[in-house]
Structure 1
Amino acid sequence: MYGIDARRRALELAAEGNSLNTVSHRTGISRWTIRKWQRQPDPFLLHGEVPCPRCRPEASRPDDHAAYAYLLGLYLGDGCISPHPRRGGYYLRIACADARPGLVTICREAVAATLPGREVRCVRKQGCVMVTSYSKHWPCLLPQHGPGKKHDRRIVLKFWQQEIVDEYPWEFARGLVHSDGCRITNWATRTVAGERKRYEYPRYFFTNKSDDIRQLYTDTLDRLGVVWTHCTRDGKPYNISVARRASVALMDRYVGPKH
């Protein structure tokens, strides 16, 4: 009577702490059916596909929290999820610069650790490598998936995602920087004893059009004690800069440049 998507939605609402009455009212599914779903094996098992942690009868979190926090940062920066036109599942794609082979490797490892047992492929495009994995479960694990561009819609973490980010904030910040960020060397000049001297200093930038994603990044930096500033473009916040020496040292220790 009910499809897989309806079941997944009801179980997700129940896993978030909503009462069966509330879930039934919001989905139109009877409490008896929801309770039965919570007790019985997931229908994905009947089709030979092991369910992900989010759509099991008792929804849980991905096993490797650190890998998931990093992958979430990568996805919010340079990732997308697209449906397969015939098979009914979804492709997760993370764009990595092909000049950064280390990033490609780390990204592949994070994808594999988040959803074990799925093939992870690298598809070479012009100027980048698309780290790609197919599964029915990617929208369960990355519920920020939706129609249109991320900066044109709200991006809010689920409660279980926020708990993982709170547990591994550096991994989340690292994923964001490794997708839409960079470490550069700035320079400035100063006159000392009548002589013009040039000074160089490292700086981290994070650039994203989404107000929500920038907010997730800066909230995480605040919890980590990293001092940051906004840099504007056309009068609007666009870049997040980290330039204070102590804060750059923290970023170097736990994030580091892409490689």
Structure 2
Amino acid sequence: MYDLETRKRALALLDRGLSQNSVSKQTGISRAAIRSWRQRLEPIGRGRASECPRCASRPFDDPSAYAYLLGLYLGDGCISQGKRGVYSLRIACADAWPGLIDACSEAMQVIRPNNKVFRVQRQGCQYVTCLSKHWPCLFPQHGPGKKHDRTIEPAEWQQDIVDAHPWEFIRGLIHSDGCRVINWTTRTVRGERRRYEYPRYFFTNLSADILDLFTSTLDQVGVEWKRANGKNISVARRASVALMDAHVGPKY
């Protein structure tokens, strides 16, 4: 629970033009709480509930959340059409990472704040799911078949968001199709065999286009990488791993 003064301070920052994400980082208050306080003061009517940032030609309330969700979608997401023109966005999240499931749910709720986000349990994973008529507007990469069998190219407005929030996009991709692992090797020092451990990041995807999006964004933030084989990207240099640890970190 947050006291009244804390709420006033957060809302005052919003009034100054800061985004919900910026206020959350500055104050340590969850974005869900900040969003709830704003909606209580400025209720969203039925017309606004169905408003799509793309259809309304307005900026996203929290573009960093979109960058993260885009990474998740490109890795483990799919969009399917249901009845009456309603689409279902589903992101598969392993049960082993409950924090990731919560982060995915929060990002999805931020993008469609008046649509219900729910979780469907399957063996070993949960599908974080939300229904909306506007998912194809928000993710124009949607199409028939598997992602690696079709061209995946960001729209200009998507690339602008990724360029502005590269780490959130990288984080979404790592949280979907990546991992942080500890490798080890042995060396003989003064006649004694010693074990050395070092962390590294991997990202694996069958789509050459998605791999290129990942590596070009790594280049943008100064992370050195190597292609381990046709579908694996490795980040192993100490400085680059330190950057990834600071901005991405292991799944949780």
Identify the TM-score tier after normalising by the shorter chain.
0.7 to 0.9
Counterpart secondary structure, 1:96: strand
Correspondence 1:149 to 2:124: no
For 1:201 and 1:229, the matched residues in 2 are separated by 16
User: C-alpha deviations, 1:83-133, integer Å up to 9, x for none?
Assistant: 00x232100000001111100100000001111100000111111010000
Q: Which residue in the other structure is 2:245 paired with? A: 252
Give the structure with higher Rg (CA): 1
Alignment of 1:117-132 (within 5 A): 117-132=114-129
Correspondence 1:110 to 2:103: no
Q: Which residue in the other structure is 1:65 paired with? A: 63
Tell me the CA shift for residue 189 of structure 1. 1.2
Whether the aligned pair in 1 keeps the contact of 2:68 and 2:169 (CA below 8 Å) is yes
1:53–1:228: structure 2 CA closer, same or farther, 3 Å change rule? same
Whether the aligned pair in 1 keeps the contact of 2:183 and 2:200 (CA below 8 Å) is yes
- Partner AA of 1:96 in structure 2: C
Whether the aligned pair in 1 keeps the contact of 2:49 and 2:114 (CA below 8 Å) is no
Tell me the CA shift for residue 194 of structure 1. 2.2
Q: Which residue in the other structure is 2:167 paired with? A: 170
Where in structure 2 are there 5+ consecutive unaligned residues? Answer: 1-44
- Partner AA of 1:51 in structure 2: E
Q: Which residue in the other structure is 2:22 paired with? A: none
Q: Which residue in the other structure is 1:89 paired with? A: 86
Between the aligned residues of both structures, percent identity stands at 64
Tell me the CA shift for residue 63 of structure 1. 1.8
Tell me the CA shift for residue 137 of structure 1. 0.3
For 1:240 and 1:52, the matched residues in 2 are separated by 34
For 1:187 and 1:46, the matched residues in 2 are separated by 56
Alignment of 1:11-22 (within 5 A): none
Whether the aligned pair in 1 keeps the contact of 2:89 and 2:129 (CA below 8 Å) is yes
User: C-alpha deviations, 1:5-49, integer Å up to 9, x for none?
Assistant: xxxxxxxxxxxxxxxxxxxxxxxxxxxxxxxxxxxxxxxx99996
For 1:63 and 1:54, the matched residues in 2 are separated by 12
Correspondence 1:191 to 2:188: yes
Correspondence 1:78 to 2:71: no
1:197–1:99: structure 2 CA closer, same or farther, 3 Å change rule? same
- After TM superposition, the runs of 4+ consecutive aligned structure 1 residues lying more than 3 A away are 45-49
Q: Which residue in the other structure is 1:54 paired with? A: 54
For 2:64 and 2:103, the matched residues in 1 are separated by 12
Q: Which has the higher mean CA deviation after the structures are superposed, 141-150 or 188-197?
A: 188-197
User: C-alpha deviations, 1:166-217, integer Å up to 9, x for none?
Assistant: 0000000000000000000000111222222111000100000100000000
For 1:92 and 1:151, the matched residues in 2 are separated by 18
Correspondence 1:211 to 2:204: no
Whether the aligned pair in 2 keeps the contact of 1:61 and 1:160 (CA below 8 Å) is no
Whether the aligned pair in 1 keeps the contact of 2:93 and 2:128 (CA below 8 Å) is yes
Correspondence 1:99 to 2:96: yes
1:182–1:48: structure 2 CA closer, same or farther, 3 Å change rule? closer
- Partner AA of 1:90 in structure 2: Y
Where in structure 1 are there 5+ consecutive unaligned residues? Answer: 1-44
For 2:219 and 2:188, the matched residues in 1 are separated by 34
Would you say how many aligned residue pairs link Structure 1 and Structure 2? 208
For 1:159 and 1:197, the matched residues in 2 are separated by 51
